[in-house]
Structure formats: structure tokens, C-alpha cells
Amino acid sequence: MISIQQLINVAPFPQETKDELLAKCDDMSDSKKIEVESLCWALISQWYQNELGARQEKAMLEMAEGGKISSKEDFAKMSDTLFAEIVGKFKVEESQEDLEEVRAKLANLN
């Protein structure tokens, strides 16, 4: 189970915002926690998409300009690598359940 603290740590907040949210999250109401979690997931997913899109576009530009040719595997690898990076940031135990949760949440936007 991904905790709200993990989500806050991974979401693309500035450090001071993370600190503030972490300091206050214990006192938050349940509904507020849900709001924060939803915001974190939305932001993480958006970050993931932006990053993946950027890496793909860069590869396409290189190809169009006669540079490195990227294969399907290369593109798939980009996605896998980025996913692994995200998972690494969560510092989860890499249990199947956690990985599935992250994948499912990212897939919501993917």
C-alpha cells in the first residue's frame, strides 16, 4: 500500500511544500487526505507523461535528422525505464501489490 507520505515525497512538489504537507498530513481529515492523494497521483502521472513524451520526442527528432534510429524495443524500454525510476522514487518494497498499484495509477493517465 502506497502511503500518503510516499506520494507526497514522489509528487513534483518543491521541497518546502513537501515538508509542509508532510508536517500537516497527520492532522488532516480523511477527506482532505483523499484530496491530497488524488492530487499527488494526478501530478505524478502528469510528470510521468511529460517525461515519457519528451524522451520519445527527442528520439524522433534524432531519427528525423538522420541520427540514431530507435527501435520499438527502444521506445518500450523508455517506458519501462521511466516506470522503474518512478518505482525507485517510491522506495517501495517492490511487492507485486505495490507495483501494480503504481502501474494502475499511472495507467489511468497513460
Partner 1 sequence: MATEGATAVDVATAAARAGEPRPNATPAGVVEPDGRVKPARRFFGAKDVSVAVEPDITTGVKRREVSRSGSTAEVGFSAVSRGAMADRIRERLGVSQELFKDKARLDVIDRILLKRGEEIASKIDASSELTRDELALAWTVIQDDLRQKASAAKMAVDEQPEKFQKLKDAPVIGGIFRRYASEATTRVTESDGPRLTTEAVKTHGITEWNQDAIAAELRQLNELRADIEGKLGFGTRSADRTLPNFDKQNGDLLHDSVVKSLSLILERKHLESSLAELRKINRVEAASIEQQAIQEGLMRFAQEQAKALLIAERPDVDIARIQNQLDKINKPADQEEVDKAHAEAHQAIQDKNDAQTRLDQLTNSKESVIDAVEDTEEAKQEAKDNYDNLKPILSAEIKSWEARLDALPEPTADEIADKDAMRAYNERDATRRKPIVAEIDKRHLEIRRLLLEQTKTDYAHTKAVRKKDALLSADDTLRGSLAYAKKELTEKEVDLKKKLKAEEKLKEPAGQKANKKRGLEIWKSVMERDSNGVLNYEKIISTGFAQGGDEARYTQDQFADTTATGGTFVGAELLRESIFGVIKDEWVSDPKNKALIRKMLSDEAIGRGIVRIFSIDTTNYGLANLLPQLANADQAQIGDLTRFLISEGLRSAEKGDPFLKVSERYAKPKARIEHEALGILEEEMGVVKLENMGTLVNPRVIWEGPVREAHGRIFGSLIPITHTELNFRVTEEFNRGLVIAGVQIEVNEEFLKYLPVNVSANMPEEIRRYFYDSAGAVRTELRQPSDRTLRSLNIPEWITISDPAMNGGTGQLEKFHAVTSADMLNALGAAYSSEIPRKLATQTANKVLDMPPAERKDAIKGLPEFNITFAEADTGNPINCSIRFDNNGIFWISDGGEEMQLEAYYTRREENYRGDRQTLESAEREALQQEMATIQEHIGMRILENQQYK
What residue ranges bind partner 1 (CB under 8 A)? 11-14, 17, 20-21, 24, 28-29, 31-32, 34-36, 38-39, 41-43, 46-47, 49-54, 56-58, 60-66, 69-73, 75-76, 78-79, 108-110
Q: What is the C-alpha to C-alpha distance for residues 69 and 84, in angstroms, rounded to an integer?
A: 23
Least Å from the CB of residue 33 to partner 1? 10
Determine which helix (DSSP H) or strand (DSSP E) holds 99, and give its type and residue range.
helix 96-109
Least Å from the CB of residue 28 to partner 1? 8
Whichever of 16 and 93 has its CB closer to partner 1, that residue is 16
Whichever of 74 and 94 has its CB closer to partner 1, that residue is 74
Which residues lie closer than 8 Å to 1 by C-beta, 6 or more apart?
A: 97, 98, 101
CA Rg, the chain, in Å? Answer: 16
